[in-house]
Amino acid sequence: MFQIFVDSAANLPAVTAKKYNIHVISFVNLISGKEVTCYNPDLSPEEEREKGKEYYDAMRKGCEIKTGLISTATFEEKFQKAFDADQDVLYLSLSKNISGNFNSARLAAEELLSQNTTGRKIRLIDSLNASLAQGLLAIYASIMRDKGMSVDEVADSIEPLVGKMNGVFTVGDLKYLSRTGRIKGSIATIGNVLKIKPILRGNKDGYIVTYKNVRGRKAVLNTLINLVCDNIIKPEEQIIGIAHADAYEDSLYIMDKIKEKIKVRDFINTSYDFCTGSHVGPDTIALFFIGKDRELAQS
């Protein structure tokens, strides 16, 4: 047997992580100097949504937020516990081209494996994406594990899905993208005045890039809906992920419209995780699904 790990950027609701027996290693943010753990394993979906509202309201009010990496020591501690239970490790990471987290986990794995005499394994998979793109891959890995597949069999099956797992999103305020250097401050100011809403995506190399610009919130939501419905493959077999930064009503609108267009296996609709959400800001909404690749058709 083996244990499945994700970082809290994977955006799995606590009830979902428990259902699929997935271990979540949490980021810790500093909010106006106070430490905030980004993942709480004991919250209900309603409580997670309320905590999300509090967090993104604080962002709207201009609180100071600092994010950081999960330490190599933390990864080493978590992976060692799996070894102590005589189990292998599968870790699905936030894109290494977004965060240094993958490297922290890699260093931990190398250290543990150099000392390991039991033959236990650690498989690391870079999702080349973020949020529920990671989380959904972990869920599919859990389903494979329940069928009796080994850690190598599951990892070898999940790795090809990385290049097919799409993440598309839009933001509420362009200033948060300008703070992270994704767009210039002057462009953010003009875009906000003109109500320009970008659609961004994770490309095949794990970078966040602009896909297209749309004018108006409702128009950009409808474009996201069409992108999913036009590019998803075998939707009846898929779980579609929706992550929102205190944009719950918009997420329900998107979910209802997708249901009208295609039949899907299920949805996960959850509040955006605090770590990556800090970089995109309140009212962000993101969708995650498997397509034939990440080269989306224009919608």
- What pLDDT shows up at residue 197? 83
Strand order in the sheet with 208-215: 208-215, 196-202, 165-170, 285-290, 239-244, 266-271
Eight-class DSSP state of 197:
E
- What pLDDT shows up at residue 177? 66
Looking at the DSSP bridge assignments, the partners of residue 287 are 168, 242
- What pLDDT shows up at residue 33? 87
- What pLDDT shows up at residue 172? 81
By the 8 A CB rule, do 124 and 95 touch? no
Q: Is 245 exposed, middle or buried (0-12, 13-18, 19+ CB in 10 A)?
A: buried
The Cα 22–Cα 16 span in angstroms is: 8
The Cα 150–Cα 157 span in angstroms is: 11
The Cα 272–Cα 286 span in angstroms is: 9
Which of 39, 41, 38 has its CA nearest to residue 14?
41
Eight-class DSSP state of 98:
T
The Cα 4–Cα 139 span in angstroms is: 9
Which of 147, 73, 88 has its CA nearest to residue 122?
88
User: Tokens 């190399």 identify what position?
Assistant: 205
Q: Is the dihedral of CA 246, 249, 255, 257 positive or negative?
A: negative
Which pair of tokens denotes residue 258? 């997708």
The Cα 89–Cα 24 span in angstroms is: 13
Contacts of 114 (CB under 8 A, 6+ apart): none
By the 8 A CB rule, do 210 and 204 touch? no
Print pLDDT tens along the chain (299 aa). Answer: 999 999 999 999 999 999 999 999 999 999 988 999 999 999 999 999 999 999 999 999 999 889 889 999 999 999 999 999 999 999 999 999 989 999 999 999 999 999 887 889 999 999 999 999 999 999 999 999 999 999 999 999 999 999 999 999 999 877 766 566 555 544 545 555 556 788 889 999 998 888 888 999 999 999 999 999 999 999 999 999 999 999 999 999 999 999 999 999 999 999 999 998 988 899 999 999 999 999 887 65
Eight-class DSSP state of 5:
E
Name the CA dihedral angle for 168, 210, 202, 167, rounded to a multiple of 10 degrees. 0
